[in-house]
Amino acid sequence: MTQNLTDSLETRDSAEREATLMAALPRQIAHAQSRTTAFATLLQGVDAAAITDRAALARLPVTRKYELLERQKAGRADNVFGGFASVGFGPDMPRVFASPGTIYEPEGARSDYWRLSRALRAAGFRQGELVHNSFSYHFTPAGSMMETGAHALGCTVFPGGTGQTEQQVQAIAELRPAGYAGTPSFLKLLVEKAAELNIPIGSLTKALVSGEAFPPSLRDWFTARGIDAYQCYATADLGLIAYETQAREGLVLDENVIVEIVRPGTGEPVPEGEVGELVVTTLNPDYPLIRFGTGDLSAVLPGQCPTGRTNTRIRGWMGRADQTTKVRGMFVHPGQVAQIAKRFAQVVKARLIVSGEMANDRMTLHVETGEPAGNLAGQIADVIREVTKLRGEVQIVPPGSLPNDGKVIEDARSYQ
């Protein structure tokens, strides 16, 4: 199988990669503590030199996106980035972007700042090709993320952006780009518009898509029309996190991030293969996010990629981790479910199911335990009321009974 490698880092020994990442980790933490006011506070008292393995990393606090937004809003008069950026306006920060919220993100001056070249290369893009980029070029960084990655590969970019479907189809027909970068839904619109107008766009034979779910049915739809499309997972905060290869078996992690999968509402890593929230530590010195909770669910896949890449693979985007639910006028959070479960050593896993109809909510906490239950259900019910201020029932189930889908709170109410 063709590897489409960007560099030898992708096939290095797994132990060598882990050693390199863990050697870089304490330096990055120390850098974040000394160069950003946010992490000087969040990691106050942490000995950076002692954070040399994943167990030590897992003891640090998780900073979730909503907390980053809160800090940005609170400190906007003094620092629009909430104290998370280590660089300021000027030559070290060519651009600033804004994501819904509003969260402001810096773009540093390094080549391929967002590291998208690795994903483009895996999708088949090569030096000397023209890339039709239909990601947004205003406010959000998606357009720049793909463009800077393509430039790092030696590609030329047509900045199509969003909208103007007929004009984009015409440009594709006349410029004859080798491939497309953008959302899968907009690529489908372009292909359908080209067919409607009877305009040939056969030069498009490859695509790197992101920003939306990319089901196999849509992938096959593109394949039937001569376009080999691959997906990647990237965010405006972190850049590239993982990318698809020709093997089409999950997404391979990027070489410059440390990824953990934790139980939603906590910072505790889950066993390999279990669905949880993606928490990422980036080695980017300009925006050194430490244990950043993406809010996205995924799981680690066993084994290595058939292309020869040795980094960990994940299953891709599997939903959102924030399952906060309002019950009888009160918000119940995943962190509260975790807090309840931690009170009882015999509880292996817990899942809160909210059922009934509106204005007649019923909470049932399903808990896995392999030990004799005794009065466990009653004790847990007391803690449910203490933590959530709501009454809840408890159902004891054997280990392995609860689904492996990352859900800590399931809203099963009828809204009809």
Instruction: Give the Cα separation of 122 and 375 in Å (integer).
Output: 55
Residues in CB range of 149: below 8 A, 6 or more apart: 112, 114, 115, 116, 117, 118, 119, 120, 240
CATH architecture, range 325-411: 2-Layer Sandwich (3.30)
**How confident is the model at residue 1, as a pLDDT?**
64
- The pLDDT of 55-62, averaged and rounded, is 98
Query: Looking at residue 2, what is its pLDDT?
Result: 63
The answer to whether 14-319 and 325-411 have equal CATH topology is no
pLDDT of residue 232: 97
Q: What are the structural domain ranges in the chain? A: 14-319, 325-411
- Residue 358: the pLDDT is 53
What's the pLDDT score for residue 149? 98
pLDDT interval class at 331 (50, 70, 90): confident
Give CATH superfamily name and number for 14-319: ANL, N-terminal domain (3.40.50.12780)
Beta bridge partners of 105: 97
Question: Tokens representing 17?
Answer: 């990669």
pLDDT mean across residues, the chain: 93
What would the two tokens of residue 342 be?
């931690």
Residue 363 reports pLDDT greater than 70: yes
Query: Which is it for strands 257-262 and 251-253: parallel, antiparallel or unpaired?
Result: unpaired
Whether the predicted pLDDT of 359 surpasses 60: no
Distance CA 13, CA 310 (A): 7
Average pLDDT over residues 372-401: 91
Rounded-to-integer distance, Cα 308 and Cα 269, Å = 27
Instruction: Give pLDDT tens digits for 79-88.
Output: 999 999 999 9
Q: Which of 273, 225, 236 is nearest to 72 (CA)?
A: 236
